[in-house]
């Protein structure tokens, strides 16, 4: 078994391991999905670096459509979400955002 896992790691199929943490146990009680709409003349590299620097942004997907990115944002409360959205809107190259607040999570990180 260990040899097979080693081969999967070496070939890049297994890219890492992580601990799964309960966000509520860390006081992160609010989750939101935030669509980022970029301005017309935008440097993707600068936007991505700014998004990566925000600890509230847990996941970031580059997507097709009117939004350039969709983010999963986790924060302590609604005022913290408002602050995060304000910070996102101040990033050079971001025209505006569209936010959906998660009411409840049915599952996350599906493994099967």
10-residue stretch averages of pLDDT, the chain, 112 residues long: 85 86 90 95 84 97 95 98 98 96 90 66
pLDDT recorded at residue 96: 96
- Give the position of tokens 């009117």: 66
CA distances from 18 to 14, 21, 57, 98 (A): 12, 9, 17, 30
- Residue-level pLDDT at 101: 98
* pLDDT the model gives residue 2: 81
pTM of the prediction?
A: 0.84
Edge-to-edge, what's the strand order for the sheet holding 69-75? 57-62, 69-75, 30-38, 94-101
> Which residues lie below 8 Å from residue 90, measured CB to CB, with a gap of 6+?
none
pLDDT of residue 68: 94
Topology of 20-101 in CATH?
Alpha-Beta Plaits (3.30.70)
């Amino acid at each position: 078994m260990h040899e097979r896992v080693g081969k999967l790691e070496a070939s890049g199929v297994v890219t890492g391991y992580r601990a799964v943490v309960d966000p509520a146990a860390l006081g992160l009680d609010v989750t939101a999905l935030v669509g980022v709409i970029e301005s017309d003349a935008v440097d993707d590299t600068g936007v991505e670096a700014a998004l990566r620097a925000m600890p509230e942004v847990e996941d970031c997907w580059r997507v097709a459509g009117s939004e350039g990115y969709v983010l999963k944002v986790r924060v302590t409360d609604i005022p913290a979400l408002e602050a995060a959205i304000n910070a996102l809107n101040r990033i050079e190259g971001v025209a505006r955002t569209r936010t959906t607040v998660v009411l409840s999570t049915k599952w996350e990180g599906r493994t099967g």
